[in-house]
Amino acid sequence: MVKPNLKAIVFDAYGTLFDVHSIIVLCEQLFPTRGEALSRAWRARQLEYTWLQSLMGRYEDFEQVTEAALRFACRSLHLPCEPATRAQLMDAYLHLDPFPDVRPTLEALSNFPLAILSNGSPRMLRAVVEHASLTRAFAHIISVDEVKVYKPSPRVYQLASQKLGHTPSEIGFVSANGWDAGGGKAFGFQTYWLNRAQVPEEELGAGAAPDKIINTLTELPALM
């Protein structure tokens, strides 16, 4: 049961607030009939590379990781990816569309301090938030770049607690990525897994199970 003592709410960015697959339109223009396959392969490898970087004790910022994942995804699908094409796709990642439920939810929760906690680099996060005209909605936009390790490292979640000045149990953490919600719960946040894709819950054990599962962000205000 979620306790009614939340003092702040923290959101993941990619897949939670911003639709990483809104780039399918451009991918399809560049590679007809292969756009969706490229977008999904790119996203999957992007996440895998963040985990591998952390496990190896290495760190490259999210922009570098994202471009490396794009190069691999194109090779794996036998698609040509010249420098100009890569630049066009990378620029699209700075202009991802927010999901339709984002703006009304943030407005409904404006009595809370709101923050973003993301794998994204500071430049990428500033760009995507500004593109969506959401800068004023957030008290903090927090990047893993400050600790140079990726989610789900506890050091990342600790950043939010430090920046907001609240204990983990006083922070609500919202993510559409089940593994990320699990990481936040294991750290001590009150977690809300936004199951946009209606997929099964992760098998990470009771200590990482989300407090609540929601299907759209608009369910969130009533739970606060």
Catalogue the active-site residues. Answer: 12
Q: Is the peptide bond before 221 cis (omega within 30 degrees of 0)?
A: no
How far is the C-alpha of 29 from the C-alpha of 89, rounded, in Å? 11
Phi, psi of 9 (to 5 degrees): -130, 130
From 33, 65, 41, select the one nearest 144 (Cα to Cα).
Answer: 65
Which ranges of the chain does DSSP label H, i.e. alpha helix?
24-30, 35-55, 62-76, 83-92, 102-108, 122-131, 154-164, 178-187, 220-223
Other CB atoms within a 10 A radius of the CB of residue 22 amount to 16
Q: Position of tokens 């923290």?
A: 10
